Every structure is written in structure tokens, then in C-alpha cells.
Structure 1
Amino acid sequence: MVKIAFDPCYIQPLPEGHRFPMQKYELIPEQLLHEGYITENNLFSPKECSREVVLWTHDAHYFDKLVQQTLTASEQRKIGFPQSPSLTHRELVIAQGTIDCCYHAMEQGVALNVAGGTHHAFADRGEGFCLLNDMAVAANYLLQKKLASRILIIDLDVHQGNGTASIFQHEERVFTFSMHGAHNYPFHKEQSNLDVPLTDGTDTLTYLQLLHQHLPRLLEEVQPDFAFYLSGVDILNTDKFGKLKVTPEGCRERDSYVFQLLKQKGIPVTVAMGGGYSPDVRTIVTAHCHTFKLAMDLY
């Protein structure tokens, strides 16, 4: 049974003004349940990630600031959220959810976190609505526990995974792959192991051709025994900030292609949703739900 990490703290409470883009975390499982794609048995609620595990990735001084609510005004502006205990709790639960998904993926082939993909968080600071880097925390957990020896992070969010690239810049056991808008946030890019910058207006055909060009080769060269997939839907042509022209059908084909390649090679994968900022929340939820449906159908 494919397992899905979900907790009410993904949604509530949220800082004023950020309710709309976060509605998807509540609506995705509701829609999947309504359509009969999942049952309550597919869902599980993570606990908080422990300090010990977080510090395998993040700086202790920064983590203590999150817990003690002592971030400076400047640090909060870079994150984009005002600090609050509930927000720190939320990030700890998301990180543990991604770790828990790894165990389920090793059993089932795939597991998905309704939230996650907080790839702008660096070891010593947060940025871009990301406080803790859940995939980095989970990847380091797998390495520490000797559950994986070679990890591939496939980041197909429209924004570069700058925090992830920075965290693993000297870690040879983790290969970071990011396909992202060349002229999109973050405006100062870090160096992933492989970056594929996309010009504004990149269409479905071009996008998929680039993915087909790079991903099979990476799987052969890297030979990962575990993968993380950040399946942001901010690549859509309807997205307010994405600047790309990928259709919903193209987004589904992207997900299907990633899942099929990984399954063919027997590589377990943990999936996190990442970004999505189309004006109509139904567009966002539908696109994310297709990711879940494809995983459910294939696995």
C-alpha cells in the first residue's frame, strides 16, 4: 500500500496572508479521498523530527534560534514568514514525514509527503518560505543509518534547489540534479551537481526533451540506491511566478516518466510536492493529485 504523509499542522495555524497557497495541503488528501484513489489507511501523521537528526544537516545555532524564537527581523524577512512556535513545529513534522516516507518507499517503491520540498533552506539559515530542508535531513538520515549509499535528488520545481545544492556540495554520496527557471528565484544560484537552467517560456516539448536527455544518463552514471523527487507544479503555464509554458498534460508526463524510470531500475523514491502558485487553487490541487494518482497506479 502506497503511504502518504499528512498532518493537520501542515495547514494550521499559518501566518496571516499565507492561507491561500497553503490550502493545497488540506485539499490534496481530501480530493484523493473523495475520488476513491486512497483511503484513510494510506495516510499517516508524522511526529516531530528530533534535534539529533536535524543537526546531522543543520547548524545547531540556527536550529536553536528556530526553537527559541530568536531569529532576527532580517532572518525572518529572508524566510518570508514571521517566526512562531507552530511554524517550527510544522517544519519538524514535515522533515520527519519525509524520513518516514523513506521507510515506506523501501517497502513499496514509492511514498509521498503532502508537504515538503523545502529546498531553499541552507544548513545555517532559511530562505524562500523554507526553514528546514526536509529532503536534505532525510538524505543524511539514510546515510547515517546506512540505509543508502548513493542518493539522487531530482528537483523539478521551477526554482533551483539552492539550499540542497549548498548542503551537499562536498558530499559525494548525494548527487543533486535541478531543472529550473534560469531567471527565476533564487536570483543567486548555487551549484548543483547538475543544473539545467530553463529559459523563460520553455514549452512542454522542450522541457520533456531535456528531461529525457538528462535523467536516464544520470541514473546510469550515478547508480543511486535511493532517490528523492521534488515534483513542483510551478512549471505550469498557469503559474503566477513560474515563467514556463508547460501544460498540465506535460506535467503529468513528467511525473510518469520519472516514476517509470525509477521503478524500472528498482530505485525507491520519496516524493515531496514543492511549489505551485496558479491563481486558481483547483489547478494546483489537480496537478498535485495527478502526481499521487500516477504513483498509486504505477506502484
Structure 2
Amino acid sequence: MPLGTAIHNIQITLGKGGQLARAMGAVAKLIANEGKSATLKLPFGEVRLISKNCLAIVRQVGNVGVNQKSLDRAGSKRWLDKSPVVRGVVMNPVDHPHGGGKGRAPIAANANYNMGSNKTNLVIIKAEVNEGTTVEKLKPRARGRSFPIKRSTCHITIRWNSKPTINYNPKRTRFRKQHRGRMKGISSRGNHIYFGKYALQALEPAWITSRQIEAGRRAMTRNARRKIWVRIFPDKPVILRPAETRMSSGKGSPEYWVAVVKPRRILYEMGGVTENIARRAISLAASKMPIQTQFIIS
């Protein structure tokens, strides 16, 4: 019998009737024929060694395209107990984006259910697919008979991490609320370049929020992708009270954090780039600031 022959209704034990590839459209292929046994590849990719004394039918049952029927979008036929099938024996994420195999989970887990994390802030840093142990189960048949079958398992390990971001909320403060304070005079500290070669310097006093600081940092990072130093930190809480609130009932609750910036304060520093690249990147950060700034060189 030539290799690749389609075989149906195959016996496992002589005299017990056909037990493999009996369903409509199911077919096994002969992949090896040596010695007293033949190697068959079953419909779902399992490889079995069958004795040559067992009987089989060299043909195929009707309704061959039952597995090729379109199921529309995923989930529309779930109530009919039908699910989309990844055809073939692919079991790794390299050859198939879904991971492969009927009933197996996709290689990339849905980030919506990963410890309550936001999927936009998750990055898969490593994905491994390893073959697990072979599990032996008993599959029941008609008239109370059963025979052992071996099913191989697949272990998928996914290691994920969040995107690197800067936490602009102080870990702890001495007092939960602060007075508004004054912003008179010029900055006596943090008004010199210490780390890089180029910097963005403030010319006006203002409260700069944590969102504005992060927006400026991202603008510089995406444009230049070089070493950047953020010289200010939002450590002052801003207290807000709800609208249409009556008098008394105390002070409100902290809503967001700001950095108190005075004139001549260094906001950002950059190094390792040429002057024209630094000017372009720092100008983008300056557009995110609510005050007038200037570009300086050490």
C-alpha cells in the first residue's frame, strides 16, 4: 500500500470492529509501513502504531467538507455547540498566530482578565509553548466496552510586564493637605544643568501638573529616544471641592498633584544628541508646558 493512502474505519484490536476514523469526513493517512505494524496519522494530528493484521477500509466516507463549513464570526454558532477550528497540527505560536489545536487557548491571553490590568499597558516579554505529559484516558464505546487512548497536553507559559512609566504620585507625605502658598521671586535651587548638556528652563511661575510633565517627557522620548532627565516632581496636592457645595464641612479632598515652578527652574535635561536634535525635541516638550520657557546649553 503506498504511503499517503487515505484509510477509514480502522481497527485497534483484531476482531473488535472499527474504532478509529469512523465519523463523516474523518480520514487517517498512512505515513510509514515497516515491519509488522503501520504508522497512521489520525485526523487531529495524533500518530498511532497499528498492527498490520487489523482491518480497515481504504476509502473515505461522504460529507468530506463538513469541517470546512463557514462558521461566520467567532461566537455566532456557540449555541449550536460549534466552534471555529484551527486546521492542521500546528501547536506553536510561530507557525500559527492562534497557537493551534482545537480547544486550546490562544498564545496571547486577553489582557482584560490579567489581574485587572489595562491591556494597553501590558507587554508580552516572553512566550513559551512546551509539550506536556501524555495523559491516558478511557473513552467509552458501545456495549460497555472501552479502550485506552493517549492525549498529549500542551503547556503555554506567558510572561507579561507593564510598560515602563513614571509614577508621579508621592509614596507618602507628612501632611495630606497643604496651603496654596506664594510663588514670589526666582528659583534658588535646580537652576543649573547638572546631568545633560541641553535643558528647558522656565521663565514664569506656575503650577505644572503631573499630566503636563508626563506629556512633555513622552514628546521628547518619542522624538529623540535619548537620555532624558526630568528635574521637577509634582509633590504638592491640589484640593478641590464639588460644585454647588454649601459652606463649612471642612476642606476638600486632593484631586491631583502639581510641581511648584519658579522662574529659572530647569524642567528637563537631555544629553547624547546634537544641538539641532535637542532643540527639536525640547521644543515639543515646551509646547506642552503652560508657561514660557527657553532652550539653554551648558
The answer to whether the superposition gives a TM-score over 0.5 is no
Q: TM-score, normalised by structure 2?
A: 0.19
- Structure with the bigger RCO (C-alpha within 8 Å, sep 6+) is 1
* Between structures 1 and 2, the one with greater helix share: 1
Q: TM-score, normalised by structure 1?
A: 0.19
